[in-house]
Amino acid sequence: MEKIAFYDAKPYDKEWFDKYNKNYEIDYYVGRLRPENAKLAEGCKAVCAFVNDVVNAKTIEILAKEGVEVILMRCAGYNNVDLAAAKGKLKILRVPAYSPYAVAEHTMGLILALNRKIPRAYIRTRDFNFSLNGLTGFDLHGKTAGIIGTGKIGRVFIDICRGFGMNVIAYDLYPAENSGINYVSKEELFRNSDIISLHCPLTEQTRYIIDEAALRLMKKNALIVNTSRGHLIDSEALLTALNEKRIGGAALDVYEEESGLFFEDNSDKIVTDEIISLLVSRPNVIVTSHQAFLTEEALANIAEVTLKNLDDYLSGKELVNEVK
């Protein structure tokens, strides 16, 4: 029976992978994959990695030396993988789509919570404070949602926005033909949107797509939502815009320096990252812990597709989910 070294394992990972695994011996490791612990994969045919694992050239070199042939990314993104270093040494397989509904629905949940001040209201009523002061939001109906990235998640979110009666505009480097989506330039989207939601992958073209210049184009009451990748937003520029009251608020499920912070309980530690510390302290900011994907349906799909990717590799079938 072939072995898989499974890094950055959480209880929900083990639950769903054990449910769907029939063919492999899986060694679960709590620590993130990085050069210092890559040797744990000795004797394994594959390693299973996640979004914040350090799959750099050094890690890949060690894995290849230990006999690993495949890196199974149990996620859609692979910006943390050094593809050039992996070429000719290891196959990189991913899960391109597990549940676009999970991420899109969480995105709308963040917007509703941010706009209608739901977390603040919840905390108040726990202390029997039923005052409505400071809880005013605005109708989403008739407002403009600017969607950056119109892949599967972006399109599901567009449908949700339309269901709320919102006007939708979008920007994408590769617009979908005959989609009925109203594509505009980045600048027009920044100027005209009441809500800006990010659903694009992280590439050199999209890194810091929300920067100081973009923020200065936005409406004073605009809300920014990011459930995609942290490095799409210049966090320092975002914090400055919030402090100067140049935008209405932000809801973040990802953060550019989240590695080693998100997915972990840091409640008994001193967090030295000043930017995230200041962001979470702002009354018009909501931060969730990269949980947009976290539904039963998504976890089932992730486990099933990840294991099938390895099945296909070992049986010599076409690798439809290979990253090249």
Catalytic residue of the set 258, 274, 296, 322: 258
Residue 176 in tokens: 């979908």
Integer Cα distance of 289 and 266 in angstroms: 12
Position 135: which residue type? L
DSSP 8-class letter at 146:
E
Is the distance from CB of 147 to CB of 195 less than 8 angstroms?
Answer: no
Q: Dig out the tokens for 196 from the structure.
A: 């800006």
Residue of 290, 296, 318, 322 with catalytic role: 290
On whether the CB atoms of residues 51 and 77 are closer than 8 A, the answer is yes
Instruction: Identify whether 126 is a catalytic site residue.
Output: no
Q: Is 231 a catalytic residue?
A: no
What residue ranges in the chain does DSSP mark as E strands?
A: 3-6, 25-28, 46-49, 70-73, 91-93, 144-148, 167-171, 195-198, 223-226, 249-252, 285-287
- What amino acid is encoded at 9 in this protein? A
- Catalytic residue among 34, 94, 229, 231, which? 229
User: What torsion do the CA atoms of 96, 304, 87, 172 make, to the nearest 10 degrees?
Assistant: 0
Active site residue 199: no
DSSP string, 244-277: TT-SSEEEES--TT-TTTTTS--TTS----HHHH
Q: What does the block give as tokens for 159?
A: 């449908």
Beta strands 70-73 and 195-198 are unpaired
CA distances from 164 to 116, 142, 196 (A): 15, 8, 15
Catalytic (active-site) positions: 229, 258, 290
